[in-house]
Amino acid sequence: MARIVIGSYMIRYPLGGMVSWVLQYLVGFQRLGHDVWFVERADWPDACFDPVRGLMTDDPSAGITAVAPLLDCFGLRDHWCFVDRFGRSYGVPLSEMHDVLERTDLYIDMGVHGGWSEEAASAGRSVLIDGEPGFTQMKMVQREGTPAQLPPYDSYYSTGRNIGTPASSAPSAGKAWRPLFHPVVLDLFPATPVPEGAPITTVMNWQSYEPLVFEGTEYGHKAPEFERFLDLPGRCRSQLEAAVAGHAVPWDRLHAHGWRTRNAHDVTRSFDAFREYIQGSSAEFGVCKSGYVATHSGWFSDRSAAYLASGRPVVLQDTGFGDHLPTGRGLFAAATVDQAAAAIGEIEADPVRHSRWAREVAAECLEASVVLPRFLVEVGL
């Protein structure tokens, strides 16, 4: 048994999709028999999102109220520590967390950008898992030699399967990147019957932060990519629904092109709400950040993995993930609106088998018990 500490964020942004992303790793490692811990901090103003009040704040109580009981349910009571911007700790005391970090076998940075590196300096192994392939490497190049430069890690992993290979145009930032799929714990997403008339859905952020300019090229978010598929509802028998959050969402324009819309925060208030939204869908159609697409990163969504595990077929904008996952049965990569419409047509023609195939892709390629043991062997545990 190894002691594994994951640094990421759930309490600062306690919506169901974000919580699910981290939870799959925590529960996945725990079910392999390891001693798993979670750490998070917010050391700048207004770093915590309160989904009830819809505002950013210094107060982490909304996130703690949402996340702590969930961690308790999975046997992780007193296995987490959150530090707010004033240095106050929640969960286990910070002094105790320091003792844990000093004796940990593996520290994983999953989006804290070096935030716990000093405390984890004596860990047996340190790993960076890049969840924003292309963007991460470009920022590393831009920040080299500045105070924002990341500390060194023993190993570097990217959820963009093509990062660090000739298949992707993203820079390597001088690192040897290994590939990793986001894991999914299948029994957290049971394959329930599809409700009558259920729409094809997705959960997305229109634009969460400003585009990145690298070497004269702008790499953006989902907004420009969605434009490529704006006319898709008119080509499908099924109703298409997008649960959207973010800046400058053109609600009227989406409605005019036949999209049914929901507020993404409303349907992901909790992990249970996120799961229920997936189960209330017949399939997923999703677009990807333009940076993922333009660099041919090979990224595949943790959200889409949850759809597949739930027996919901997925049509996802092509990032090159089809080089690494089986497509054509339950999972489709679509580079154009015509390809997306054709894939949805295939699902509509045989929904039962595509549902079964979707679950099989998740079980064979993305299940935590498949993904994480290989990862641990590679990092030397």
Each residue of 93-144: pLDDT tens digit?
Answer: 999 999 999 999 999 999 888 889 899 999 999 999 999 999 999 999 999 9
177, exposed or middle or buried, with CB in 10 Å at 0-12, 13-18, 19+?
A: buried
Degrees (nearest 5) of the Cα angle 293, 277, 271?
90
17 sits in the region (left: phi over 0; alpha: psi -120 to 50; else beta) called alpha
CA–CA gap between residue 166 and residue 320 (Å, rounded): 12
pLDDT of res. 114: 84
Q: Look at residue 8 and tell me whether its pLDDT is greater than 80.
A: yes
Q: Is the pLDDT of residue 371 over 80?
A: yes
Distance CA 252, CA 106 (A): 48
Tokens read off for 30 = 């725990």
The verdict on pTM exceeding 0.85 is: yes
**Residue 109 pLDDT:** 97
Distance (Å, whole) CA 110 – CA 127: 9
| Bridge partners, 333 (sequence order) | 316
pLDDT in tens, 100-110: 999 999 999 99
Segment 324-361, tens digit of pLDDT: 999 999 999 999 999 999 999 999 999 999 999 999 99
Percent of the chain exceeding pLDDT 90 equals: 94
Check if the beta carbon of residue 222 is closer than 8 Å to that of residue 254. Answer: no
Same fold, 3-183+368-378 and 186-365: yes
DSSP one-letter string for 262-331: EEHHHHTSSHHHHHHHHHT-SEEEE---HHHHHTT--B--HHHHHHHHTT--EEEE-SSGGGTS--SSSE
For residue range 166-198, list pLDDT tens digits in order.
Answer: 999 999 999 999 999 999 999 999 999 999 999
Residue range 264-281: mean pLDDT, rounded: 96
For the domain spanning 186-365, the CATH number is 3.40.50.2000
Nearest to 213 by CA among 135, 288, 287: 135
Q: Where exactly are the structural domains of the chain?
A: 3-183+368-378, 186-365
Average pLDDT value over all residues in the chain: 96
Q: Does domain 3-183+368-378 have CATH number 1.10.260?
A: no
**What is the reported pLDDT for 210?**
83
Strands 200-205 and 283-286: parallel
What's the residue count for the chain?
381
How far apart, in whole angstroms, are the C-alpha atoms of residue 344 and residue 340?
A: 6
What percent of the chain is modeled with pLDDT above 70? 100
When pLDDT is averaged across residues 48-53 and rounded to a whole number, the result is: 92
Confidence of residue 52 (pLDDT cuts 50, 70, 90): confident
First to last CA, the chain: 9
Averaged pLDDT for residues 269-286 = 97
